[in-house]
Amino acid sequence: MANSPSGETVTERIVRVLETFDTDRTVQTASEIGRRAHLPSSTAHRVVAELVSCGLLERDEEHRVRLGMRLWELALRGSRALRLRQAALPFMERVQARIREHTQLAVLENGETLFVERLSHPQAGANITRIAGRLPLHASSAGLVLLAHGPRELQEQVLTGPLDAVSPETETDPARLRRVLASVRRDGVVVAPGTVESVSTGVAVPVREGRGPVVAALSVVLPRDAPTRPAVDELRAAATGISAALEAQRP
């Protein structure tokens, strides 16, 4: 429907426009959007004007645009992410209160780790992940949990594809990564020192929907040499609680 001369649909162009926004770039001009989305300037201005008129984008006093609250509202109110984080939040708060480090909830999304919630203690250490941010599956404790419990084809695809290092200690050897995934399935936990950043250790456990499939990974980011046992215990207790909460609120 409504394809452009390039064969791209209007929907695809809208997505390309929305993709130009991120945490570090929340306000842009239509021309900047056009450049970043590789759209002709006139097309960018037209798409932006339409998105503004529907409230998906908003203009500020200087005629620059930002993501609209209406977009946020539409994306959130019926979403799986909201349902998941509502079930998880009370348990995440308890983990964070006791461990006092970053506590995160992540899901598998299109072959990557997508972080849907993060609580950060004011005194917590370094952490590069962000809400609505992504990391490759093999490159964080949460991702290793999601990959270990993900579809078999996805595992093979990751194991045979290029395994880029996010830090010098990211596991990039397919044979060793395969053994890590097996141990995650066996032990129900992964402790991954230095995988994302050399100063920290990620600890993650799977979160199931009731007794069903793994739907998320719950993780904490500890300083590199902190004891991991208290975190493992807290994460396991929290994951059990979230599973029960998800089961209880099943539609």
Contact flag: residue 15 with a copy of itself (CB under 8 A): yes
CB nearer to a copy of itself: pick between 27 and 199: 27
* Site residue total, a copy of itself (CB under 8 A): 59
Residue 93 touches a copy of itself, criterion: CB under 8 A = yes
How do strand 102-109 and strand 214-223 relate by DSSP bridges? antiparallel
What Å distances lie between residue 173 and 163, 179, 233, CA to CA?
A: 8, 10, 29
CB atoms within 10 A of CB 121: 13
- Residue 132 or 165: the one with the smaller Cβ distance to a copy of itself is 132
Q: Cβ closer to a copy of itself: 60 or 175?
A: 60
Q: Tell me which stretch binds a copy of itself (CB under 8 A): 5-13, 152-160, 170-178, 230-238.
A: 5-13
Helix/strand/coil for 67: strand
Q: Which of 31, 69, 176, 213 forms a contact with a copy of itself (CB under 8 A)?
A: 69
Give the interface segment with a copy of itself, choosing from 108-116, 135-143, 154-162, 232-240 (CB under 8 A). 108-116
Shortest reach from residue 87's CB to a copy of itself, in Å: 12
Sequential DSSP letters for 187-201: HS-EEEETSS-TTEE
Tokens of 72: 């946020």
Alpha helices in the chain (DSSP H): 10-19, 30-37, 41-53, 69-77, 80-99, 141-148, 152-160, 174-187, 229-248
Judged by CB under 8 A, does residue 160 bind a copy of itself?
no
Contacting range for a copy of itself; rule: CB under 8 A; set: 78-86, 147-155, 165-173, 195-203: 78-86
Read off the tokens for 195: 């995988």
Q: Which strand (E) or helix (H) includes residue 38? A: none
Residues numbered 110-149 forming contacts with a copy of itself, rule: CB under 8 A: 110, 114, 116, 119-120, 122, 130-134
Contacts of residue 72, defined as CB under 8 A and 6 or more positions apart, other chains included, come to none
C-beta closer to a copy of itself: residue 12 or 233: 12
CA dist 102 → 167, 195, 243 (Å): 19, 16, 21
Comparison of 41 and 198: residue with beta carbon closer to a copy of itself: 41
Q: Considering only 14-22, 143-151, 160-168, 177-185, which stretch makes contact with a copy of itself by CB under 8 A?
A: 14-22
Please give the Cα distance from 55 to 58 (Å, whole number): 6
6 forms part of the interface with a copy of itself (CB under 8 A): no
203, 220 in Cβ contact below 8 A? yes
Q: What is the contact surface with a copy of itself in residues (CB under 8 A)?
A: 1-2, 9-12, 14-15, 18-19, 21-23, 25-27, 46-47, 50-51, 53-56, 66-67, 69-83, 86, 89-90, 93, 107, 109-110, 114, 116, 119-120, 122, 130-134, 251
